[in-house]
Structures are given as C-alpha cells and as structure tokens.
Amino acid sequence: MADSKVQDFKNHARFDPLFHFLMMPVALITVIIAAYEITQRLKLADAWFFIMSIAVLIGFLKIRTYALKVQDRVIRLEETMRMQRVLPEPLKARIGELTVSQMVALRFAPDAELAGLVEKTLANKWDSRTIKQNVVNWRPDYFRV
C-alpha cells in the first residue's frame, strides 16, 4: 500500500505536487509575465516568448491528458476482465453499455458490490460521482497517475 491513509470517496483524488504545485503554476505565471511584456514593449522577441510560453503550458496539459487517457484505457481493460469474471450472465452481456468514466468509477467497488452497482448504473445512467458515492466498502486504488 503506497499511502498510509485509508482511501475513500472523500480522499481518493490525488495530486502530484511537482505537476500541480510547481510545473503548472510556473507555466501559468510565465504566460502571464510574457503577456505583460508584450503590452509594455511590443517587441518581436516578447511576442515569441509569449507564443512559446503558451506552447509549453499546452504541452504540460497535453502530457497530463495523455497519461490519464492511458490510465483510463488500462482501467477499462482491467474492469472488463473483472466484470467478465464476477458478473452474472445477464449483466456480462451489458458490459459494453458502460462508459469509460463509469468503468473507471466502478473500479472502487469490491467484487461483492459490483453486480448491484453495475445494474443500478445501467438502469439509472449514473455518472462516475454517483457510482463512487454508492460504494459501501471502498476498494482503494493507490496506483493511479
């Protein structure tokens, strides 16, 4: 277990301090400074610095998005395999009706609760937040990006 604190709905969100509290603020502040410099001096070099700072900020955001997309694809695969193993036949046939975000949320449900949550999710078109709020015995995921 990577974390000493027991994971649940209230504390399952994760921040990467280097990304969220260093890289992104520095990139955003750099964009603001570059925009200010353009308004003060109107030089080509300042315009180029602004364009480059925007590109770096977008790059950081895209890198993060790519990592999260890969993580979601892996979770979808893991959950599909788990559902094929755990769910009763009528629900196995409906696995494909679940969205990726629903499957990502269902990963927190233990095997014993999975069938009931899948059934309720499909019947009520629950979003990921509602699914997570309805998990009784949280199955932690300490290995997310």
The range of the structural domain enclosing residue 78 comes to 9-133
What average pLDDT score do residues 101-125 get? 97
Nearest C-alpha neighbor of 87 from the set 129, 122, 131: 122
Q: Where are the beta strands (DSSP E) in 31-124?
A: none
In a domain, 144, yes or no: no
How many CB atoms are closer than 10 A to CB 79?
A: 23
pLDDT band at 18 (very low <50, low <70, confident <90, very high): confident
In a domain, 141, yes or no: no
In a domain, 21, yes or no: yes
pLDDT for res 125:
97
In a domain, 142, yes or no: no
How many CB atoms are closer than 10 A to CB 50?
A: 20
In a domain, 76, yes or no: yes
Q: Which residues contact 120 (CB under 8 A, 6 or more apart)?
A: 126, 134
How many CB atoms are closer than 10 A to CB 72?
A: 16
Nearest C-alpha neighbor of 24 from the set 73, 58, 47: 58
* Domain count of the fold of the chain: 1
Structure tokens at 133: 């709020």
In a domain, 78, yes or no: yes
Q: What is the pLDDT of residues 44-53, one digit of tens each?
A: 999 999 999 9
